[in-house]
């Protein structure tokens, strides 16, 4: 029984990593679909979201079964409850990637507002935060989790920079308004994904240290955009 349980926990970790991989790809394809004006990539993100949703349902089911059948104590309980939260965060990241992809399909029909400079950098940072937050989870790596939390401030800075730059462009040239607003919303979606990665990192710190840091972190650096 004990051995079986540890096998199931290992499987749960692998499921979460696979789901994380799907989410990273979804973000990457959505942003690449925008930056390289490639509708196929954006459409792939929209189409593959089903797989992410299916995985959430599967992982949630496994977690509930583990809670009900194994009645785990202390550390394992914390791990399974964290897994339940993390799969929700991953699913919502997938939704945000779909939002980005849908806006990319609209924007790709129009001339570009300006060359992309900060947005791809921001996206690369966000993707690495998603990956690192899951690595931190499966390896119980608090140091890596703290690095993810720090990344969140950088993402907020990128988002504010992009926001103000697009505002100036709209004010100067009103023909750019609707495209610029879509780009602002894409920045905001990336920022939301970073928030979810930060939630995961905070769950890791909680799981390992049993300490709740989330609201402290939020007070410190929350963006108003």
Residues 6 or more apart in contact with residue 153 via CB below 8 angstroms: 221
CB of 168 to a copy of itself, least distance (A): 9
Query: Does position 225 bind a copy of itself by CB under 8 A?
Result: yes
Residue of 17, 35, 84, 125 interacting with a copy of itself (CB under 8 A): 84
| Selection from 85, 82, 213 nearest residue 152 by Cα | 213
How far apart (Å, rounded) are the C-alpha atoms in residues 192 and 108? 23
Q: In 3D, which of 27, 90, 28 has the Cα closest to residue 59? A: 90
Characterise 141 by phi-psi region: left (phi > 0), alpha (psi -120 to 50), beta (else): beta
Residues of this chain, 41-70, that bind a copy of itself according to CB under 8 A:
50, 53-54, 56-57, 60, 64, 67-68
Q: Does 71 bind a copy of itself (CB under 8 A)?
A: yes
Residues that bind a copy of itself (CB under 8 A): 50, 53-54, 56-57, 60, 64, 67-68, 71, 73-74, 77-78, 81, 84-85, 88, 95, 98-99, 102-103, 167, 170-172, 174-175, 177-178, 181, 184-185, 188, 212, 215, 218, 222, 224-225
């Amino acid at each position: 029984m004990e051995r079986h349980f540890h096998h199931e926990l290992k499987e749960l970790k692998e499921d979460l990593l696979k789901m994380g991989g799907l989410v990273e790809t979804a973000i990457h394809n959505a942003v690449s679909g925008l930056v390289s004006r490639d509708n196929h990539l954006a459409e792939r993100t929209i189409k593959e979201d089903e797989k992410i949703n299916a995985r959430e349902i599967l992982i949630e089911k496994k977690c509930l079964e583990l809670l009900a059948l194994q009645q785990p104590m202390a550390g394992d309980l914390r791990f399974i409850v964290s897994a339940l939260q993390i799969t929700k965060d991953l699913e919502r990241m997938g939704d945000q990637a779909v939002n980005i992809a849908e806006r990319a399909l609209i924007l790709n029909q129009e001339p570009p507002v300006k060359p992309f400079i900060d947005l791809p950098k921001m996206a690369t940072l966000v993707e690495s935060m998603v990956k690192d937050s899951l690595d931190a989870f499966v390896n119980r790596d608090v140091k890596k989790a703290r690095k993810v939390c720090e990344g969140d401030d950088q993402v907020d800075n990128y988002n504010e920079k992009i926001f103000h730059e697009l505002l100036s462009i709209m004010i100067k040239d009103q023909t750019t308004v609707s495209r610029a607003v879509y780009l602002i919303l894409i920045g905001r979606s990336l920022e939301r994904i970073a928030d979810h990665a930060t939630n995961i990192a905070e769950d890791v710190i909680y799981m390992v240290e049993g300490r709740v840091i989330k609201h402290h972190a939020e007070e410190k650096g929350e963006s108003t955009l």
